[in-house]
Amino acid sequence: MFDLVIFDSISVLLLTGFVIGAIGTLIGAGGGFILVPLLLITHPRLSPEMVTAVSIVIVAANAISGSVAYGRSGRIDFRAGVLFALFTIPGSVLGVYSTKYISHTAFNIIFGILLLSLSAFLLFKRKDTDHLQQRGADKKKGQRLAVLTDNENTVYRYTYNAYTGVAISAVVGYLSPLLGIGGGIIHVPAMVHWLRFPVHIATATSHFILAVMATVSVVVHALQGNYNDPYIFRMVIWLCIGVIAGAQLGAWLSHKIKGMVIVRALAVCLAIVSIRLLWGIIA
């Protein structure tokens, strides 16, 4: 039934999950942007609905494991995270039900263009200036002031617009299960460049939001019976084990790597994946 049988071996699934967990947690993207194109390439006969079903459960496992590690580090903005997560839930439910109506070609095109656009935005976006982070919170305009001190005694002071964050989260909530990407590749750039979150706070908080949003999507997929196939269930289990372990490594590495390096790495990864998907359609 499937094209690349080697991908189905336990060792390959564990290693794949570990890499996805490490990279996904490091950049706060959940890892779905890696797994979805990988499944599209190795398992072209899987429907978009099943691809997203497998991916979103891996994103959930990654996000939960990574959030535990980030929570210990003190870098999650729980006030913003809870608010944004709540507004992702309606869209995440709707997104799951929308997957069954998307064709393979349309799915690949939408996914490829989205990744390429985000990559270009991150690569060519000007660096933020610190003075934009120092403005006080204007309650009338939805501005909130946040001050966080992590476990390494690094103080993060920033403001963000709660209304803008809620609007972005609603859109991310829909796109996340629709494409099986977890939404982090949209949420992290948006939190950094539009909401003015420090990169390390954005990646950690995005992971927390992913944990809530992806779990809701997994429950909806489970109620639809998308994990009843023994083959799919086996794949999910072994990928999850690898992802949970890799997420701990990714969270640890996030303390060692500068924020701008994380953003650039995310942009390069997005470009490579998008070009591969779009080239496959053209060829």
Alpha carbons 206 and 122: distance in angstroms, whole number: 17
Helix, strand or coil for residue 30?
coil
Alpha carbons 196 and 205: distance in angstroms, whole number: 13
Alpha carbons 222 and 178: distance in angstroms, whole number: 15
Instruction: Quick: pLDDT tens for 208-218.
Output: 998 998 899 89
**What total of structural domains would you count in the chain?**
1
| Phi, psi of 187, rounded to the nearest 5 degrees | -65, -45
CB 134 within 8 A of CB 157: yes
Alpha carbons 257 and 262: distance in angstroms, whole number: 7
CA angle 269, 270, 273 (to 5 degrees): 85
Alpha carbons 108 and 36: distance in angstroms, whole number: 10
Range of the domain at 186: 5-282
Per-residue pLDDT of the chain (283 residues; tens, 9 = 90+): 444 555 678 888 999 999 888 887 777 666 777 788 788 778 888 888 888 889 889 888 888 988 988 898 899 999 999 999 999 999 888 988 887 787 777 877 887 887 788 788 777 765 544 444 444 445 557 789 999 999 989 999 999 999 999 999 998 888 888 777 767 777 888 898 889 899 889 988 988 998 998 899 899 999 989 899 898 899 999 999 999 999 888 888 877 777 677 777 778 877 877 887 777 676 5
Output DSSP code: residue 283: -
